[in-house]
Structure formats: structure tokens, C-alpha cells
Amino acid sequence: MLMEDLNMKRVSSKFVPWLLTEDQKNNRLNVCYDLREQAGNDTQILSKVVTGDETWCYGYDPETKLASSQWKTPNSPKPKKAQQVRSTVKIMLISFFDANGNVHKEFVPPGQTVSQQFYLQVLKRLLDSVRKKRPEMWSSCDWFLHHDNAPAHTAVSVQQFLGKNMTVIHHPPYSPNLASCDFFLFPHMKHQMKGKHFADVSEVKKKMLEVLNNISTEEFQKWFQQWEKCWYKCIKSKGEYFEGD
């Protein structure tokens, strides 16, 4: 057959967060080169980064197909499960952490959007948390903030505040695979809640805080080491999304 002669096989498309343009790939590549250079000049750079983001937490989030799978013999009937959707009970969590653990966390009040005005207040509370929980980092002023390109994060008023109060590590657009919140912390937290029902927002908050507070320092350090490995994967893939996205 022609397919055999050409050594071809049929494959499915890989879903990616975004179809990157060449400029976007180059931006990702340049950011990772810069981070690699900074790490080469300062071997302690990972311990000086505070990273954060926001995410929704639901009263019920369905299990993935893999998570709900069961061990069966070949003759056993295939299990069935009714399709379910996320609960309308939800609360948004904002979390900032470094290689030593949680630095600042708060829940967004119901009905409140994360606007530039609200995010400015969050950043002020973050600064206060750094002062109280990381006094050596605070006194040395030798630390960096890493967050993504959400509109509230890049607003002019926010940029002006950041320019006066902290050094920011640039994050390339459309790059959840280069943000430790998106590919480590939040998936880890939500995995603990998949398939579980919570009656109201207070129960959701209680569980999320329980999960967050039980993450070990070793896990946080491991995530930062994995973040560094992602820079190299991005460089190797020439700015394109890499395996594991």
C-alpha cells in the first residue's frame, strides 16, 4: 500500500493553548534565554522569585475520564457515568509563593472582578506579606515578582506601581507552560478536589486552604527546579510549545 511504501501513519492533532506566531515564539525564546543567563550569573535566582496568579475553585469539579477509570477484567461490563458539569458554587483564589512555600494568599470577594484597581491592592498586601514572612528578602530588596500577562497585571497603573516597588520577571504571552502556578500549583490543588462535592463557598475555601497549607517546602522547591527545566525545553523547541504542555 502507498501508506506503507511511504512509511506514513495517521495521527491526531495535538491541542495547544495557542497557535503561536513567529514573533510570539521568538518572545518566548528570548525570555527563556534571559532567565537562563540570569541563573548563570546568580545561582540563587530561583530562591529569590515570588510567583503568583489567580484561579477559580469550584464546589464541584468533575473528575477527568482517566481519574474516574476503574480496573476491570476483559469480560466485565464497561462502567457508565452520567455526564456532569462544574458547580456554579465557586470562589477565586489568588496565591503567591516562592521556593520556601506560601507568601500570600487571599480569596477574591464574590462579585468582585480582578481589575487593575483591585490587583493594585493585592500587590500592596503582597508587599506586606513579603515584609513579614520573608524579612531577609525584604531588607535586601533582592527579589523578583513573576506573574502572567493578564490585563489587570499589565495595566499602566499596575506597571507604574511595580516599577517603584519591585523587579518583575517578564512573562511571554500565551505561555501557561512557563508559569509554575498554571502547570504545578493549581493543577496540584485542584486534583485534590476533583470529583468531590462542597455545599457552599465556605467549604470550598476551607478545603483549598487545607490543601495549600499541606504542600511541603520540598514540593515548592521541586516546582521551581521544574520551572527552570521548562526554560531549557522551550529553548530546545525554539520557542514552540514542548512535550508535556
Whose CA is closest to 51, among 190, 166, 181, 161? 181
Strands 49-58, 144-146: pairing is: parallel
Q: The CATH number of 45-61+84-236 is which of 3.40.640.10, 3.90.1570.10, 3.30.420.10, 3.40.50.1100?
A: 3.30.420.10
Which residue has 512573562 as its cell numbers? 171
Q: What angle do CA 106, 193, 190 make, to 5 degrees?
A: 60
Q: What percent of the chain has pLDDT over 70?
A: 82
Q: Hey, where are the domains in the chain?
A: 45-61+84-236
4 — pLDDT class (breaks 50, 70, 90): low
Q: What angle do CA 114, 142, 122 make, to 5 degrees?
A: 15
Task: Provide the pLDDT for residue 244.
Answer: 57
71 — pLDDT class (breaks 50, 70, 90): very low
22 — pLDDT class (breaks 50, 70, 90): very high
pLDDT tens-digit map of 84-132: 556 788 999 999 999 999 999 999 999 999 999 999 999 999 999 999 9
| Residues sharing a CB contact under 8 Å with residue 22, sequence separation 6 or more, in sequence order | none
β-partners of residue 50 are 145
